[in-house]
Structure 1
Amino acid sequence: MDRVRTVAQHTPGSRGAAKGSTGLGLLLALVATVVWSGSFVATRGMADSVPPVQAVFWRWIIATLAVAPFAARQAWRQRALIRRHLGFIALASLFGVALYNTLVHQAGLTTSASNMGMIMAASPVVMALYARLGGERLGVRRTFGLLLAAFGVLLLVGDGSLDVDFGAGDLWMFAAALSFATYSALLKRKPAELGGPAFLITTFVLGALMLAPAYAVSLTVQGGFEVTPGTGGMLLYVGVMSSAVAFFAWNKAVSIIGAARAGVVYYLQPVCVAGLGLLLLGERTGPAELLCMALILGGVSLGARR
């Protein structure tokens, strides 16, 4: 029986299925990365009109409503399983929903969308370290690709120099990168029997509940915000696309190819954010930035391969 299983694992069809799964995982990671790139532009656009905690709170309310038609029934069926693993789910909600996004919106007050995307690209380094600590072998090619892309990101943040001077917003983004990497590492421990939609809506609800006290304080101290077509549109984008769609795609990608490999694709984010920042916010991209982006793309190409 073991021999039959071994032969089956090495058939051309099995290899093709494995390659197909890897390709799907990389594609889903890319979808999440591109969508999240737009969220940094939207976050920067809301910085002067919507207080960070209020923006994040409504982001998750909108996200919960967006996924409810697809996820609520499964979550109800798996309510006993959710209660059994509530500690783990709450931890994932804390790092991936409440902390990460609040830190991103806080950073948007004092740094550019391009810087936000560049610094968030530090999270794959932490993902790879978590993966290595968990016993995953990264391999020479993927490690070299990771280091090459990291070098490109460092040059990009330093405007072509390794002498980097970080501001307050940049430091907030580093904290956000650490939080997101921790969330991605936690995803590997998600119980296999817990459905993706059920996990997603539960983390969204718990994250919103965690933010509710801070939201109440923000309303009292800062007052509310005016809902305009601009702010409403950006909140819908970060709530539906950047939360519901991107988180589902990312979670699925990590379940297929692992956080370390998905993290390599995530290095494309500075390239996407820089392009969107130029088109939508007028943030310029010069020759030095283009060279750094080429290093990032080269590193991603090496690191994403088997």
Structure 2
Amino acid sequence: MRSLLALLAGGAVVLIWSTAFSLSREAIKDLGVWPFRFYSLLAGLLPIAVFLPKSMRELRTASIEERHNTLIVAVINGFVVSTVNVIALAFFPAPAVLTLMYTMPAITSLIEIVSGKRLHPFAMLAPIVAVVGVLLYIGGSSFGAGAMLVLINASAWAFATILAGRPSHSISGISRVALQCILAFVLNLPFFFIFTVVPKGSIPLPSWNDLLAILYSGVLNGAVAFWLWYYAIAGIGVGRAAYLTLLVPVAGSVFASAFFGDELGPRQVLGIALVSGSMLLRVSVPR
């Protein structure tokens, strides 16, 4: 029964991750990058704030290495990666941003190969397949600079993923999520005031449609998705949970095409398939 619930939790995470980019993009175009970030981070912070005292206690008692790793991962994932994603979504189609971001597992393999920690054939092949998929997806489009921005962001996510994978005996998963939420909100505030409040003299108010996207992005795609993901990993294991992520770029692209009219031609379909194939190669590497 627990395995079934964990599998359902993993499926719910895939659904959230695959649809969040398209839904967020509409609100980003309406509100702007920094107001959307402010509202969505605030929404995501509210349900997780109760865990902040626990997070601070665990952070204080952790070793220096654990503390540094946790804070670096929280800043990269909570602020850098998510902010760049929002900026990219303001200018480029959601399926393109989603597909390129999910080259992360292949980039992780590349980092491990360079560092000499992973020389399995699948790990070595994964970056090659991902690159071919990306070239096919963006070939002939004007997404060149945007693609580089998203790929650099995926690299930052890969680096944070490797750090997050190091054993932590003092800081729980929910504490990591809480720290990530509060740091992202605090780091976003200066940009919000500089680029929104100061030049406009006011804060744009979201419409009802924007509010739904904000709640979806901030709450479901934030604390809820992370909690479900940790539950899935605990119930079915990291390896089986990782296979579920293969569906994210595929489901996300189909969703964006069906409901938002984003282009999904034969070249894009093949590119998405290759990126998902590179993810399959990566998660198939023996641990």
Give the TM-score normalised by structure 2: 0.79
Q: What does residue 210 of structure 2 align with?
A: 231
Are 2:163 and 1:186 aligned?
yes
Identical counterparts, % of pairs: 23
Q: What does residue 37 of structure 1 align with?
A: 18
Are 2:65 and 1:88 aligned?
no
Specify whether residues 87 and 210 from structure 1 end up closer, same or farther in structure 2 by C-alpha distance, changes over 3 A only: farther
CA distance in 2, matches of 1:246, 1:143: 30
Residues 217-257 of structure 1, C-alpha deviations (whole Å, 9 max, x = no match): 13212442222111100000111121113334556788999
Q: What's the offset of the Cα at 1:64?
A: 1.8
Larger gyration radius, structure 1 or structure 2:
1
- For residue 239 of structure 1, give the secondary structure of its aligned residue in structure 2: helix
- What is the aligned counterpart of 1:75 among 27, 30, 55? 55
Letter in 2 for 1:132: I
CA contact (8 A) 1:188 1:255 kept: no
Pairs aligned (count): 281
- For residue 68 of structure 1, give the secondary structure of its aligned residue in structure 2: helix
CA contact (8 A) 1:126 1:178 kept: yes
CA distance in 2, matches of 1:262, 1:127: 17
Q: What does residue 166 of structure 1 align with?
A: 143
Q: What does residue 204 of structure 1 align with?
A: 181
Letter in 1 for 2:89: G
Q: What's the offset of the Cα at 1:120?
A: 1.0
Letter in 2 for 1:137: R
- For residue 272 of structure 1, give the secondary structure of its aligned residue in structure 2: helix
Q: What does residue 220 of structure 1 align with?
A: 198
Report the RMSD for the aligned CA atoms in angstroms.
Answer: 3.7
Residues 164-192 of structure 1, C-alpha deviations (whole Å, 9 max, x = no match): 65344334323322222222122023622
Letter in 2 for 1:226: L
Mean CA deviation greater in 58-67 or 254-263: 254-263
CA contact (8 A) 2:109 2:126 kept: no
- For residue 78 of structure 1, give the secondary structure of its aligned residue in structure 2: helix
Q: What's the offset of the Cα at 1:102?
A: 1.2
CA distance in 2, matches of 1:26, 1:140: 29
CA contact (8 A) 2:58 2:171 kept: yes
CA contact (8 A) 1:111 1:170 kept: no
CA contact (8 A) 2:232 2:241 kept: yes
CA distance in 2, matches of 1:221, 1:304: 47
CA distance in 2, matches of 1:29, 1:184: 18
CA distance in 2, matches of 1:135, 1:256: 31
Structure 1: 5+ residue stretches without partners:
1-22
Q: What does residue 105 of structure 2 align with?
A: 124
Mean CA deviation greater in 59-68 or 284-293: 284-293
Residues 7-43 of structure 1, C-alpha deviations (whole Å, 9 max, x = no match): xxxxxxxxxxxxxxxx999987775454222221123
- What is the aligned counterpart of 2:258 among 276, 279, 289? 279
Q: What does residue 103 of structure 1 align with?
A: 84
Q: What does residue 6 of structure 1 align with?
A: none
Q: What's the offset of the Cα at 1:113?
A: 0.8
- For residue 156 of structure 1, give the secondary structure of its aligned residue in structure 2: helix
- What is the aligned counterpart of 1:47 among 8, 11, 28? 28
CA distance in 1, matches of 2:118, 2:103: 20
CA distance in 1, matches of 2:63, 2:117: 30
Q: What does residue 118 of structure 2 align with?
A: 137
Q: What's the offset of the Cα at 1:151?
A: 2.2
- For residue 31 of structure 2, give the secondary structure of its aligned residue in structure 1: coil
CA contact (8 A) 1:265 1:300 kept: no
Are 2:93 and 1:115 aligned?
no
Q: What's the offset of the Cα at 1:107?
A: 1.0
Mean CA deviation greater in 215-224 or 258-267: 258-267
Specify whether residues 297 and 125 from structure 1 end up closer, same or farther in structure 2 by C-alpha distance, changes over 3 A only: closer
CA distance in 2, matches of 1:168, 1:83: 40
Give the TM-score normalised by structure 1: 0.75
Letter in 1 for 2:81: Y
1:14-29 matches, cutoff 5 A: none
